[in-house]
Structure 1
Amino acid sequence: MISARSSAWWRATLALCLGSILVFVNLYAPQPLLPDLRQAYGVSTLAVSLIMSVSTLALAGALLVFGPLSDAIGRGGIMRVTLLLTGLCSLGLAFAPNFETLLALRLVQGFVLGGLPAVAIAWMGDEFDRPALMAAVGLYIGANTLGGIGGRLIGGGIGELGGASAGFLAVGLVTLAGVALFWKLLPPPSQFKPRRFELRGALADLGGHLRHPLLLAAYLLGGVNFLIFINQYSYITFRLAEEPFGLSARWLGMIFLTYLGGTFSSALSGRLTRHLSQPACMTLGILIMMGGTWVTLSDSLAWIIAGLTINAVGFFLAHSMASSWVSRQAQRARGSASALYLVFYYLGASAGSLWLEPFWQRGGWVGVAIGSWLLLSATFVIALWLWRTERSFDRLSLAR
């Protein structure tokens, strides 16, 4: 097993973090362009949000394929090939002739984007010992935030200068360069033990994970939290594009620098678990998200940015804890267990506009905040239950 801070650990962690960055650069590059795309194609806020929703929905479906498949054929090849196809899809998006073609290509891209997220943490679970896993997951989740920031900065910045096509072209070229480096850095596995792929067995594994109450709770917590977090960013772009703010696509892309709050909290999450249990950290993260949402109600741009940063700190703290909790609790078929967590995660993202759109139509940003608090209250209860359950298990272990 690879130990924390060893040269092999740094090489593997760097490769997986790079892959994570590339995935989220491609996934989120269109988001700051949504207001402009809405005007260009004459569609509603709900329709233009499909640019994000179809890709996350396809990504969620892909996880059900790549997770179980990786338990049979290995994880490294899946990550390499799907990253390559992701870059090629972005090049195709640069030449999409109409809105319908753009949506179709985003659907395909969403599917191949699922390759790395489906198996990366399972790869760590195979190869790393527990301290190494906890430290690497925090950095990997932090890389998610850097990819999200980078994609939006490229999409917003280059998109404002040369249009959406130029933004997609830049993302595609950056991705292909990154894939070459990822291909070289990722070491061959030494601990992976393949299992013969059987559809019945894969479905049985998925069913077993869904019947495991501790895993199911983490799945629901991650999916609902992400539903709120990522779709708040979509609706805040509509709010900030309008008066009195009137921000352009480039400045809307800069708003996503608030993700750096999540980079910070993810990187520190491993250290935090020395003092608090994982469910306690999830509970804390959700409370932070509730507070950050309250701060965004301000009419001051500076306070809105502060609130989004606070949200990012809370969300990525809870997310890094929930995802590593799944890898820790799964007794078998870690690939499908981790993939199923991300299925809930991205299904939440794709469903978010359906949940928040009525609140937006009736109450604007205040309505979005109310809709957010309703669901965050539910995940807060789930986190408390996990915390209480873990403490009960600890007491039983001590009694024995």
Structure 2
Amino acid sequence: MPPADTGASAAQRAGASAPPSPDATTKLSPGSPGYRRANFALFAAGLATFALLYSTQALLPAISADLALTPAQASLTVTATTAALAIALLPVSALSEKYGRTAVMTASVFSAALLALVIPFAPDLTTLVVLRAVQGVALAGLPATAMAYLAEEIHPKAVASAIGLYVAGNSIGGMSSRVFSGAVSQALGWRTALFVVGLIALACALAFRLLVPPARNFQPGPVNPAALLRTVTGHLGNALLRRLYTIGLLFMGVFGAVYTVLGYRLMAEPFGLSQTAVGLIFLVYLVGTAASAGSGALLGRVGRRGALYVAVSLAAAGLLLTLSTSLVLVLAGLVLITGGFFTGHAVASSSVSRTATTGRAQASALYLTAYYIGNSVGGTVGASAFNAAGWEGTVALSLAALVGVAGITLYATRRAVLTARAGGGSGAGPSGVGVRNRLFTSLAAHK
């Protein structure tokens, strides 16, 4: 799920000097009515955001059939939204520094939900893609702003659990919209399915507005574009952060390619699944929830690079399994791809906040930008590969992206080994024990 920085202050996110931290006694504590309201409000907002963001993904075969589109053309209804969100994420979320967290989140979720009620009436692909892109811009006000609100308003000891519930809303929204829309589409058509998802999102927006407690610790300040640009430029100049952004982009490219084309593959022979059955396949996302939760333990045992090697291996094995004509093996492959993706994403996103020593919110926002660009590019290019060479083309493209992740990780491993050797000096003694110890220490430090 999208990464977040929960430690940076409002002014740090704007690139200004940090104001005094509010007293913890002014924050919402577990057990209080305000704490419960904030949790439910942000859960509803997260559910609406990701239900809308991926609302057309499970419907792509139906949209293709109705509008006589290729898979690559239909995929634009997903990639236009994620690409627009990626581009708008930094500037739109920065507005919350001046106008307030709840104001920006309210405007974001309501405008996106209302657009969702208009989108089903789009007469052609161009109109549909433009409306979906505008919806992506509207949604950009939620991800980073929601994390900032929770960090400012929730007691420090409860921030992690509050963010966990918000992320759960993200996951459930993304999964349920795909599963639900598939069933509705088979019975009533894809336009009705999108309209119903829009009604659900509007209900979530109303729940958010009624439940969200007013901000008590927000300190408005001017948006400083020059300072923000300096912070962003500094992050992009950090070689390790660039590698992490690229890893996130490549992993998401694989995930976007596979799940954008998945419906076309499974509805065709030899599988011949219905639209409802294809929608149910997205329940595999539950594997991602478990993989994300287990990534911390894996990271502690094998380190960052070790966990990335595991993620690449799982996803690659899964891609190879999906080449089978056995539905059981294809589903097993999807489980491995999903587990590998979420593991890699969790490792890379958590490493971003740990690597950035200043401006952590901007560092995470840049990761989100790369993440959604990867989704957009992967979805469209993966669909084009499918159109040109079938499922094998999509798999080959995805494997190439995983080779890129492995190459970046191997490069980092090589750098760590060379650093350890250079620091060994000649004082290790003939046995080389000192060199080996220093090598182990250096590798551990670079995990």
1:291 equivalenced with 2:317 (yes/no): yes
Q: What residue in structure 1 maps to residue 341 of structure 2? A: 315
2:262 corresponds to which of 221, 232, 236: 236
Conservation of the 8 A alpha-carbon contact between 1:32 and 1:253 = yes
Tell which structure's C-alpha radius of gyration is larger.
Answer: 2
Query: Deviations along 1:222-264, whole A, 9 cap, x unmatched?
Result: 1111111022111121111211222222222111111111122
Deviation at 1:344?
A: 0.8
1:215 equivalenced with 2:215 (yes/no): no
Structure 1 residues 35 and 277 mapped into 2: Cα distance closer, same or farther (>3 Å)? Answer: same
Distance of 1:377 and 1:65 partners within structure 2: 33
Structure 1 residues 354 and 397 mapped into 2: Cα distance closer, same or farther (>3 Å)? Answer: closer
Deviation at 1:66?
A: 2.1
Q: What residue in structure 2 maps to residue 33 of structure 1? A: 59
Conservation of the 8 A alpha-carbon contact between 1:143 and 1:263 = no
Structure 1 residues 386 and 73 mapped into 2: Cα distance closer, same or farther (>3 Å)? Answer: farther
2:74 corresponds to which of 48, 65, 76: 48
Structure 1 residues 238 and 51 mapped into 2: Cα distance closer, same or farther (>3 Å)? Answer: same
Distance of 1:136 and 1:307 partners within structure 2: 33
Structure 1 residues 396 and 35 mapped into 2: Cα distance closer, same or farther (>3 Å)? Answer: closer
Deviation at 1:194?
A: 4.7
Q: What residue in structure 1 maps to residue 288 of structure 2? A: 262
Query: Deviations along 1:324-343, whole A, 9 cap, x unmatched?
Result: 33233333333332221111
Structure 1 residues 234 and 211 mapped into 2: Cα distance closer, same or farther (>3 Å)? Answer: same
SS at match of 2:402: helix
SS at match of 1:306: helix
Alignment of 1:16-27 (within 5 A): 16-27=42-53
Structure 1 residues 218 and 186 mapped into 2: Cα distance closer, same or farther (>3 Å)? Answer: farther
1:175 equivalenced with 2:201 (yes/no): yes
Q: What residue in structure 2 maps to residue 251 of structure 1? A: 277
Conservation of the 8 A alpha-carbon contact between 2:270 and 2:325 = no
Distance of 2:91 and 2:300 partners within structure 1: 35
SS at match of 1:94: helix
Structure 1 residues 102 and 117 mapped into 2: Cα distance closer, same or farther (>3 Å)? Answer: same
Deviation at 1:390?
A: 8.6
1:85 corresponds to which of 107, 111, 119: 111
SS at match of 2:222: coil
Amino acid of the structure 2 residue aligned with 1:118: A
Conservation of the 8 A alpha-carbon contact between 1:154 and 1:170 = no
Deviation at 1:347?
A: 1.0
Query: Deviations along 1:260-298, whole A, 9 cap, x unmatched?
Result: 111222233345555454454344323221122122122
CA RMSD in angstroms comes to 3.3
Conservation of the 8 A alpha-carbon contact between 1:228 and 1:352 = yes
Amino acid of the structure 1 residue aligned with 2:70: S
Amino acid of the structure 2 residue aligned with 1:163: G
1:147 equivalenced with 2:204 (yes/no): no
TM-score (norm 1): 0.87
Conservation of the 8 A alpha-carbon contact between 2:321 and 2:330 = yes
More helix by share: 1
1:336 equivalenced with 2:337 (yes/no): no
Distance of 2:58 and 2:238 partners within structure 1: 38
Deviation at 1:104?
A: 1.9
Conservation of the 8 A alpha-carbon contact between 1:138 and 1:320 = no
Question: Mean Cα displacement is larger for which, 290-299 or 280-289?
Answer: 280-289
Amino acid of the structure 2 residue aligned with 1:225: F
Q: What residue in structure 2 maps to residue 306 of structure 1? A: 332
Q: What residue in structure 1 maps to residue 372 of structure 2? A: 346
Distance of 1:379 and 1:351 partners within structure 2: 16
Residue segments in structure 2 that go unaligned for 5+ positions in a row: 1-23, 421-440
SS at match of 1:246: coil
Distance of 1:383 and 1:396 partners within structure 2: 13
Amino acid of the structure 1 residue aligned with 2:68: G
Q: What residue in structure 2 maps to residue 365 of structure 1? A: 391
Distance of 2:202 and 2:104 partners within structure 1: 16
Count of residue correspondences: 398
Residue segments in structure 1 that go unaligned for 5+ positions in a row: none
Structure 1 residues 162 and 388 mapped into 2: Cα distance closer, same or farther (>3 Å)? Answer: same
Q: What residue in structure 2 maps to residue 116 of structure 1? A: 142
Distance of 1:272 and 1:135 partners within structure 2: 20
2:89 corresponds to which of 31, 42, 63: 63
Deviation at 1:130?
A: 8.5
Question: Mean Cα displacement is larger for which, 136-145 or 358-367?
Answer: 136-145
Amino acid of the structure 2 residue aligned with 1:231: A
Q: What residue in structure 1 maps to residue 17 of structure 2? A: none
Distance of 1:356 and 1:396 partners within structure 2: 36
Distance of 2:246 and 2:39 partners within structure 1: 27
TM-score (norm 2): 0.78
2:350 corresponds to which of 321, 324, 334: 324
Deviation at 1:368?
A: 1.5
Structure 1 residues 71 and 210 mapped into 2: Cα distance closer, same or farther (>3 Å)? Answer: farther
1:197 equivalenced with 2:223 (yes/no): yes
SS at match of 2:142: helix
1:225 equivalenced with 2:251 (yes/no): yes
Q: What residue in structure 2 maps to residue 166 of structure 1? A: 192
